[in-house]
Amino acid sequence: MNPETDRDIENLEAWAEIIRNVLWHVPPDRRGQVLSLTTEREEAERQEREESPGLKFMTLNEDWANTPGARHRNAIMRLKSLLVQVFVRDIANNHSQQEAADILFVQHRHGTGSGLLEDYLPERKPAR
């Protein structure tokens, strides 16, 4: 399996489908609110990027503790874990074992760190 390409990264329709997949796991009566809040935050960040192009230095201060990312950190980690499980299951259910492994363990050029999933997985049996 080949990693994502620059063309994949620029594919707006593909990204929209992925966002729809994520939204499927948000309660239906909250999806509009989630999209609205996300759009508001993206617009504010876009304006900030346009007003001060170049490097942005991140600092931790008292204001950080009052951000949604800090206030809801544990819930965010649990929901990220849920989405990883759901997406891995989707890939595994729709491909052979080898194809699923090839998709999941390819080195992602547009990822972070090494780009290799196995570099970030602990070596332990799952808790049941």
Q: Per residue in 93-118, pLDDT tens?
A: 999 999 999 999 999 999 999 999 99
The Cα–Cα gap between 77 and 96 comes to 29
Tokens standing for 53? 């192009």
Residue 116 lies in a domain: yes
Residue 88 lies in a domain: yes
DSSP for 71-115, please give it.
HTHHHHHHHHHHHHHHHHHHHHHTS-HHHHHHHHTS--TTSSTTS
Residue 41 lies in a domain: yes
Tally of domains in the chain: 1
Q: What's the domain range around 93?
A: 6-120
pLDDT in tens, 19-34: 999 999 999 999 999 9
| pLDDT of 11 strictly over 70 | yes
The Cα–Cα gap between 44 and 83 comes to 26
- Helix (H, G, I), strand (E, B), or coil: what is residue 44? helix
Residue 82 lies in a domain: yes
Sign of the torsion formed by the C-alpha atoms of 84, 85, 90 and 93? positive
